[in-house]
Amino acid sequence: MKVLGIETSCDETAAAVVTEKGEVLSDVVRSQTELHAPFGGVVPEVAARDHAVALPPIIERALADAGTSIADVDGIAVTHRPGLSGALLVGVLTAKGLAWGARKPLVAVDHLVGHLLAVFLRREGAPEPPPHPFIALLVSGGHTAIYRVDRPGIDGMRELGATRDDAAGEAFDKVAKLLGLGYPGGPVVDRLAARGVAARAPVMLPKPLRGRAGGFEMSFSGIKSAVARHVEQTGVPEGEALADLCAAFQAAVVDTLVDKTVRAAREEGVGRIVLGGGVAANRGLRARMTEAATAAGLSVHVPPVASCTDNAAMIAYAGALSLERGEIAGLDLDVFTKTALERVTRKGGGKRPSLPR
Ligand code: KG4
Ligand code: ZN
């Protein structure tokens, strides 16, 4: 089975052709980062307009790279949630047009389900695929949460805890902005942190909700605010001091992510941890997670960066599995800004009153 996947939920325009076994026949991603950089973040209307221009040729290229055609694929999978509604609409309307014109089944994919299954994509650098169940840490610019994954599909995935405020990537981006390091900030902070020493940083950063506090919920805005206060008082550090501050910030974020994920695996009695999302590219996170998990007797499965950052291959793969289960969307498919996965964490803090499982 060959499925065409389409992804336009945020600031990557992407199309890919993938089989139900996870073989990546093509994978085309175009990032809008440069377009949004002057604004220091993603501007929704700019994103939607650019998707509308960029998507058709990207789909053509994905089909050509895979040596196939629209007539030859078994289905068309598209991200319809969560994301920016204008951006999502571009992908969904395009997918509907193709499905209708070529008389192919249309499959709706939740972007987070795509991320949680990206570890199964078979491509260079892919880790040993984990058997189910596994604990997944999804960390990106828009999402930061820990899931238990028992089966592919919405009903087999459960959030154990998420951030109450900023996503981890958002915190990296905001701190980079404060330090005048440009957008997106994660990769720059990562590079500087590798040269710095956290213990030498001139400021003590908080570790909110560490340990058992808040269950598996996390919080990153306090760490960012502490950096902001420090910069207000003493100005932006330079040279070695800047690298030390980046190292301290990164260590504070990474410690929380690792601590909560390893704790979740232990409490759930699950022996495998999977990483996903753009922040999974962070070298500090990869190293600390591997170290902590190994010490706890857990295996860690870290997909290659191309599978972690936003892409359409994960959408095509999740779509292929849905198609195998007969989950076909109608041409009245709508878009939603929120995920369909059940959430237990509220923005602003506090668990939801009752948690149906
Ligand atoms: O998954 P992604 O490509 O897009 C979404 O947010 O959906 O993730 C982008 C985020 C940005 O916040 C970026 O700063 C962060 O991932 N990021 C990193 C690194 N590479 C990307 N954060 C920390 N360290 C990195 N090496
Ligand atoms: Zn994403």
DSSP notation for 306-348: HHHSS-SHHHHHHHHHHHHTT--B-TT----SS-SS---B-TT
Task: Render pLDDT for 180-230 as a digit per residue (tens, 0 to 9).
Answer: 998 889 999 999 999 999 999 988 898 888 777 788 999 999 999 999 999
Tell me how far apart the 2 most distant CA atoms of the chain are, in Å.
63
**Identity of the residue numbered 35:** L
The pLDDT value recorded for residue 349 is 65
Residues above pLDDT 70, as percent of the chain: 97
| Number of the ligand 1 atom closest to the C-alpha atom of 170 | 12
* Average pLDDT of the residues of the chain: 94
pLDDT at 274 over 50: yes
Q: Which position has the token pair 């047009």?
A: 97
Q: What is the pLDDT of residues 110-167, one digit of tens each?
A: 999 999 999 999 999 999 899 999 999 999 999 999 999 999 989 999 999 999 999 9
Give the model's confidence band at 238: pLDDT under 50 very low, under 70 low, under 90 confident, else very high.
very high
Q: Is the bond leading into 184 cis (omega within 30 degrees of zero)?
A: yes
pTM assigned to the model = 0.94
Distance 166 CA to ligand 2 centre (A): 15
Distance 233 CA to ligand 2 centre (A): 35
User: Ligand 1, residues 309, 311, 314: which to mutate, most atoms within 8 A of Cβ?
Assistant: 309
- The token pair at 66 is 């895979």
Tens of pLDDT, residues 19-64: 999 999 999 999 999 999 888 788 999 999 999 999 999 999 999 9
**Structure tokens that stand for 326 in this block:** 């007969």
Band the pLDDT of 169: cuts 50, 70, 90.
very high
Instruction: Give residue 80's pLDDT.
Output: 98
Residue 138: C-alpha distances to residues 133, 156, 196, 227, 278 (Å): 15, 16, 26, 24, 9
Distance 276 CA to ligand 1 centre (A): 10
CA distance 12 to 315: 13
Q: Which residues sit opposite 162 in a β-bridge? A: 145
Region 280-305: what's the mean pLDDT? 96
